Structure 1
Amino acid sequence: MNYYPNRIVIGFQSGVSPSTALQIIQQVGGLTVIDTIPVLNVYVVSVLPSLLNIKMTILSNFSGVRYVEYDGILSAQLTPNDPLFPQQWGLLKINSTRAWNVTRGSTLVNIAILDTGVQTNHPDLVDKVILSHNFSASSTVQDLNGHGTHVAGIAAATTRNDLGVAGLAINPKIMNIKVLDDSGSGAFSDVAQGVVYATQNGAKVINLSLGGTLASATLQNALQYAKDNGVLSVAAAGNQNSSNLFYPAAYVQCLSVAALNQDDTKASFSNHGASWVDVAAPGVNILSTLPTYANSQGGTSYGSLSGTSMAGPFVAGLAALMLSLDSNVNNVLNAIQTTTVSINGTGTLYQRGRINTYAALLKITE
């Protein structure tokens, strides 16, 4: 909604006196004058939202009423000055710039990136990483693979700093919890440890751009622990172009995310299946941060990668913005899923469509 649902602006003809204007307003009934602009002969009145449109219709039929209109909402427009932002088609596709006019999030909301680590001193991430812990077989908490740094940048790279890329969650912080080694592999138990640690250390969102085809009661129980403590877990649906269950995304404790091309078609590699894949998000040629040193992804500083691993952090970033407004995970999950854009495959390839950040944030503020 781009107007106030409980306000009407009435413009009277220039010859209508204040007493006549007030008489008309009183005759319509159910209206309270809250402001006037005498030089324009304008009256701003409050009204019950359920009566807004009928009262506007009645007012417009009075002689002496020049016009009746909604009291529209204008917002300061945040335009990222990050030089690579124009190349971030994913952010533009999910309506992020309008979403930032609703909220840029809270610095008290933390996104735990459970991955190959995050380069903590990356220029576009250094101000965002508040905690690091290593549960993997690697000897360092830093990201030598590159995957985790890329994921972190999508969710929450520093925005409007005249540098590199923009992250969706502008104010929320990043928790670097390394659960995969430098080759990108990790044990169920390591990931479960990371989930518990993130929960106990204040994470509000957990991003899991990882998975496999084997189920684990330990990991599922850890995710249930996170859910019970008000943490929302987001998981990549996997890259096998298969409808076979992929874990942890297939667990009911996770919001599972498939990957889309720029034209809203399913990415060729993305897993699918409306019985267990919840929503979809951009996941092909996604530009984000990469370590400034040599890593397994090949590029340095910034680069584009594809995968459901890239789709997940868009949803995690959105969840962080939403949890800044409403701490109830169930409300956030409902708003994300009921405001998606219906695309080809909705209901068959994925239970819902592509995320719409602006619509989801408006829904959570209702």
Structure 2
Amino acid sequence: MKNEEGFQSGKRRFLVLARVGEDSLHREWIADDTTPRNWDLQLNVYAKDHSLSFDGDLPTVFDYGTKWDSIARHFKANPELLDRYDYIMLPDDDLRMKSADISRLFDIAVEHDLTMAQPAMTHDSYVSHEIVLRVPGFRLRYSNFLESMSCCIKSSYLRTLLPMFERHFTGWGTDLIWTMLMEDPAFRAAIVDEVPMVHVRPLYSGPIYVSFTKDGIDPRQEVRLLTSCFDNYSRFKHVYGGWLTNGRRVGDFETRIRNAIALLRIAPRMQHPRRTVFKSFWLVVWAFTKAGYRPEQLRAIAGTEMALLGLGKRASVARGEADSVIDASATRDTVISGLEENSMATPPTFQSLNLPS
């Protein structure tokens, strides 16, 4: 990792640390210089052409690793950033966002005392999880799931997650658990509908997948490894309350019904309309069957990697029993099995992505 110069003191409270390459859209984020920003931009570059122009408020860093191990190295080399900034956003470089919207995301995170937040995705984006699609009328929806491509994280919590990023650099699976590793996770993570973003790159086509091919890595195994570390992990992705744009707070039932209606309205325009309708169906079901749902802190099984890292609550399971639980968990695919509520109709395979299975 190459740091071009020492870091200078900043006056803004928030940081956007973006992993970017030659085709990055980050210049769109700072194109509007008429509106003051409350955030600094720093670029962590995976492009090998140093002659390219990269804009940022802090010195550009060159690191040719994958996103999450590079981020871990970045903060290990510059831990003062975690003290200087209250929240840090870690966006991919294929997101279309506006400067004022990013500022608004940080403001909402502070206003609602969120530990984690992400912009909502527009319907014309390439979408993996329908739950993060924008729902008109909402300021935010509380959720137990936030995607890894654009998450904004309170710096104090990000510090606790860095060891996981360092060891699980594919990023697969971390976004399934990271909102529930904190103590008392209810109402601490939210999809911010007031702040839209567009994901412009087709799924599974970024540079990281080239590196998976080169290194013979199957990131699905990372998912199985991570999720099997907890005895109360659930694959289902929920919304369970929110705030409307008129300032009214709504509960889990109204949030799910409004979300379901919004998905039905946009389903014909989606790349996977059946999958979108399927998610809408489950939201209606859960409006009646999951009343009062609140996410709980994940319990790490003794002896597992997450327990050794001190992530999640320690489960009261004997080591021998834990080993049998891990072995059993490893035999099932918790991500693409059965009727996972928001999986693809045909789960992606590495053959279809021109990657080794």
TM-score per shorter chain, which class?
under 0.3
Instruction: State TM-score, norm by structure 1.
Output: 0.22
* Larger helix share, 1 or 2: 2
User: Rg larger in 1 or in 2?
Assistant: 1
Instruction: State TM-score, norm by structure 2.
Output: 0.22
